[in-house]
C-alpha cells in the first residue's frame, strides 16, 4: 500500500446491526411482523404473486427471471482514432444493507436524479435472519460467526426491497461475501481457493433462499437470477485476492475490486479478470495520498474512532469532498483513467462521508464525457476495446496527459 499515513487500514463493515428507524425503499411488499406464511408440500414458503411484468420464478421464489435488466446503456463500441476516452466513475457500496438509517434509499434517489448506475456489493448474511445464523458455516471460523453481526428482521425486509429497487433501476448487485473476517486465524487473507468457493456458495444460497430461511410470503422476489447476475466482488478489508482469483475465474466472474490500493491508471487483467482496485487520491492538506474509500479517509481524520470530535466535522467533510473531486479532476483533465470510489451505508463522524460522496457525485455528473456506471458496465466497455488502444492508455501515469492531445495520441495505436 502506497502513500498512507496509516498502513493496513482498509474498509470495514461496522455498525451492521444498527437499529431500525427509517422507512425502507419504495418497493412493493409489507414490512409486517415477519411471521411465516403458508408452505407448499416441499416445505418452502408459498410466495405471493409478484407484481409487475411476467416473471419466471426461480427455486422457492426468492428470485425470479424477469428478463433483461432495465435502464442499461447502449451496447458499447470501440474508441475511434483520435477520440477522447470517456471519463468513467464507479460509485460502489460494501455490504449494501438497509440498516435503518435511510442511506440506501437516499443514494438510490440520488443516482436516479443524476442518471447514475452504481455497484452494490451485497453481504449475503444481510438476507439471513439471525435466528437462522447456524446455517452459515464460515471457513476457518465457528458456525454462525460474523464480524458484522446480523440484521434485525425488519432491516432484512428493507434490504430486500432496496436491492430489488436497485436492480430495477439499473444498478449492479455484486457480493461482499458474508462474515467479513479481517483479523485472527480466520481472516479472509488466509483463506484458500476452496474456502472462497464455500463462502461464495453460501452467499449465493442466502440470496437465493431467503424466502425459505425467513418464511416470508409478503415480500416480492428479487427480480434477477443471482447466479447469472453475480460477476464481481470486493473482499472484506481488501484481503485475500490472490486466492480468490482462481475461484472467481472458474465461476466465470469478469472483474474483481479487491486489490489493496491502486493508482489512477487504466486497468489490466489479473488472473483472467479485470483488476479494478480502489485508488490513491490526492489528500488535501497532506503530502501523501488516501485510498478512495470513506473508511480510509475517516482513518486519517478521526483515527481509531468513527465518532470523532464534532467540531471537526465541517472541515473533515470539506476535505473528504475535495479528495474525491481532486481525484476526479486529475483524471478528467489528463489520462482519463476511471475513478473507483468505495463507500458504506454508515453515519460515521456524523454522516459527513455520505454528504461528501453526494456532493462529489453532483460535482461530476454534469461534466462532458462523464459516465457514472457500474463495474459490470465498465467491464462491458473494456471488453470491446482494441487491446492495443488499452495498452497505450495504460502508458499514461496518474495526472499524465496524452502527448499532443487525444486527437493524435491514440491514432498510432
Task: Enumerate domains of the chain plus CATH numbers.
Answer: 87-409 (3.20.20.370)
Read off the C-alpha cell for 384. 470491446
Confidence band for 18, pLDDT divided at 50, 70 and 90: very low
Q: CA-CA distance, 56 to 258, in Å (whole number)?
A: 33
Cell of 145: 460467526
| Tens of pLDDT, residues 310-333 | 999 999 999 999 999 999 999 999
For the chain, the average pLDDT equals 89
d(CA 18, CA 24): 14
Rounded to a whole number of angstroms, the distance between the first and last alpha carbons of the chain is 32
Is this structure's pTM higher than 0.75? yes
pLDDT band at 26 (very low <50, low <70, confident <90, very high): low
- Residue-wise pLDDT for 86-117, tens only, equals 999 999 999 999 999 999 999 999 999 999 99
- Return the higher-pLDDT residue of 42 and 26: 26
Buried b (16+ CB within 10 A) or exposed e, 70-109: eeeeeebeebeeeeebbbbbbbbbbbbbbbbbbbbbebbe
Measure the CA–CA gap between 110 and 99, rounded to whole angstroms. 18
8 pLDDT band (50/70/90 cuts)? very low
pLDDT surpasses 60 at 387: yes
For residues 343 and 118, what is the distance between their CA atoms, to the nearest angstrom? 11
Amino acid at each position: 500500500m502506497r502513500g498512507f499515513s496509516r498502513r493496513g487500514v482498509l474498509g470495514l463493515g461496522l455498525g451492521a446491526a444498527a437499529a431500525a428507524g427509517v422507512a425502507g425503499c419504495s418497493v412493493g411488499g409489507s414490512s409486517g411482523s415477519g411471521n411465516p406464511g403458508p408452505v407448499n408440500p416441499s416445505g418452502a414458503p408459498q410466495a405471493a404473486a409478484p407484481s409487475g411484468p411476467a416473471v419466471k420464478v426461480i427455486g422457492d421464489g426468492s428470485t425470479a427471471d424477469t428478463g433483461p435488466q432495465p435502464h442499461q446503456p447502449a451496447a458499447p463500441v470501440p474508441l475511434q482514432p483520435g477520440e477522447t476516452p470517456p471519463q468513467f466513475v464507479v460509485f460502489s457500496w460494501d455490504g449494501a444493507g438497509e440498516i435503518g438509517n435511510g442511506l440506501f434509499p437516499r443514494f438510490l434517489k440520488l443516482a436516479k436524479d443524476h442518471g447514475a448506475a452504481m455497484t452494490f456489493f451485497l453481504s449475503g448474511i444481510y438476507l439471513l435472519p439471525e435466528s437462522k445464523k447456524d446455517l452459515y458455516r464460515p471457513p476457518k471460523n465457528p458456525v454462525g460467526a460474523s464480524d458484522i453481526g446480523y440484521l434485525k428482521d425488519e432491516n432484512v425486509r428493507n434490504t430486500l426491497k432496496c436491492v430489488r429497487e436497485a436492480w430495477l433501476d439499473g444498478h449492479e448487485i455484486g457480493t461482499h461475501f458474508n462474515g467479513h473476517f479481517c483479523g485472527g486465524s480466520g481472516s479472509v487473507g488466509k483463506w484458500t481457493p476452496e474456502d472462497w468457493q464455500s463462502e461464495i456458495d453460501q452467499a449465493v444460497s442466502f440470496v437465493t433462499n431467503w424466502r425459505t430461511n425467513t418464511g416470508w410470503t409478503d415480500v416480492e422476489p428479487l427480480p434477477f437470477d443471482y447466479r447469472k447476475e453475480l460477476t464481481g466482488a470486493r473482499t472484506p478489508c481488501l484481503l485475500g485476492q490472490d486466492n480468490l482469483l482462481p475461484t472467481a475465474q472458474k465461476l466465470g466472474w469478469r472483474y474483481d475490486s479487491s486489490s489493496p490500493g491502486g493508482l489512477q491508471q487504466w486497468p489490466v487483467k489479473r488472473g483472467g479478470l479485470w483488476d479494478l482496485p480502489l485508488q490513491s487520491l490526492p489528500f488535501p492538506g497532506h503530502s501523501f495520498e488516501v485510498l478512495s474509500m470513506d473508511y480510509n479517509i475517516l482513518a486519517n481524520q478521526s483515527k481509531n474512532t468513527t465518532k470523532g470530535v464534532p467540531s471537526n466535522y465541517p472541515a473533515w467533510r470539506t476535505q473528504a469532498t475535495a479528495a474525491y473531486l481532486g481525484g476526479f479532476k486529475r483524471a478528467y483533465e489528463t489520462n482519463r483513467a476511471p475513478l473507483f470510489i468505495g463507500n458504506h451505508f454508515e453515519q460515521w463522524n456524523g454522516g459527513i462521508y455520505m454528504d461528501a460522496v453526494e456532493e462529489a457525485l453532483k460535482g461530476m455528473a454534469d461534466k462532458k464525457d462523464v459516465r457514472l456506471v457500474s463495474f459490470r458496465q465498465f467491464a462491458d466497455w473494456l471488453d470491446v476495446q482494441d487491446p492495443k488502444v488499452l495498452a497505450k492508455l495504460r502508458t499514461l501515469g496518474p495526472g499524465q496527459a496524452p502527448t499532443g492531445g487525444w486527437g493524435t495520441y491514440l491514432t498510432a495505436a
